[in-house]
Amino acid sequence: MTDIGDEFARVHRVSLNGQDVAYRWAGTGPDVVLIHGVASSSATWRRVGPRLAAHHRVLALDLLGHGDSAKTGGDYSLGAHASSIRDLMVALDIEFATFVGHSFGGGVAMQLAYQFPERCQRLVLVASGGLGREVSPLLRAVALPGAELVMPLVLNDRVRTTLLAAGAPLRRLGLRLDDRRSEMWENFARLSAPGARAAFVNTVREVIDLAGQRVSAREKLYLASGMPTLIVWGDRDTIVPLAHGRAAHETVPGSRLEIIEGAGHFLPLQEPERLVTLIDDFIATTEPASINALAFRAALRRAAGGEA
């Protein structure tokens, strides 16, 4: 585990389409791609990646605009991120993989499965975005005009200390700032560079507006009927409600829903051992999907009322 941990801790870089992409990579075996959430990085998986790498070859990247990857502006949509991951897989000679996405990364994982179904063997959605309208007020606030200018003023230790004293009222807004493990707050506070703040705000605005999440994969979930799908949620998630996971589970035939009691939104950091156990078992007990372009087209045509 120590050697694998050291291997996973090492950050590599590759230039794709003129932009540097940072990634971590360790282990041998069936390929697993880990996709982090907004304002985060591949470091989100630091407690999960080495454990998974004991039996799998694990790739965790920094999405463009995040972590150590390029922050040059441009397209931070789900589709653009999915294409970047596909390109990285090609560069690293990964033909197909199990995609594991946390929060915003779940939306990217679903987009990957939609755009490049032939590369997706299984889908693991961890407290995933893109499955319903509701989302934390803190993320909705980022959609406000001028949010990138206000962030440096409010995301600092002095404000955090003041807010900690507010306690329960903030928890009702979805802000568990009394929890020192509040990964969202810590991630936001690291956005000190203007380029990082702009990338974060632009990414959020691609999928969220003042009313909540505006990009949903629900209408496309029928396409996952042949895809082994695991949905994992904490029953105390105040960022994305558990109801989204339950609804997705009911929509995708044969999917598995695992609810971790007492856990919040940031399962890769709060419950890494439990998460790894679930993913390991899921991979070991399911056959990888093999979806080609013809089968995908047939599913779309059936849904449209046409002939397969």
Q: Which residues carry out catalysis?
A: 103, 237, 265
In one-letter notation, the amino acid at residue 62 is D
SS (H, E, C) the chain: CHHHHHHHHCCEEEEECCEEEEEEEECCCCEEEEECCCCCCHHHHCCCHHHHCCCCEEEEECCCCCCCCCCCCCCCCHHHHHHHHHHHHHHCCCCCEEEEEECHHHHHHHHHHHHCHHHEEEEEEECCCCCCCCCCHHHHHHCCCCHHHHHHHHCCHHHHHHHHCCCHHHHHCCCCCCCCCCHHHHHHHCCCCHHHHHHHHHHHHHHEECCEECCCCHHHHHHHHHCCEEEEEECCCCCCCHHHHHHHHHHCCCCEEEEECCCCCCHHHHCHHHHHHHHHHHHHCCCCCCCCHHHHHHHHHHHCCCCC
Task: State the Cα angle at 119 between 117 and 125, rounded to 5°.
Answer: 75
Contact 259, 248 (CB under 8 A): no
Token representation of residue 215: 């990009």
Query: What span, in angstroms and rounded, lies between the C-alpha atoms of 121 and 142?
Result: 34
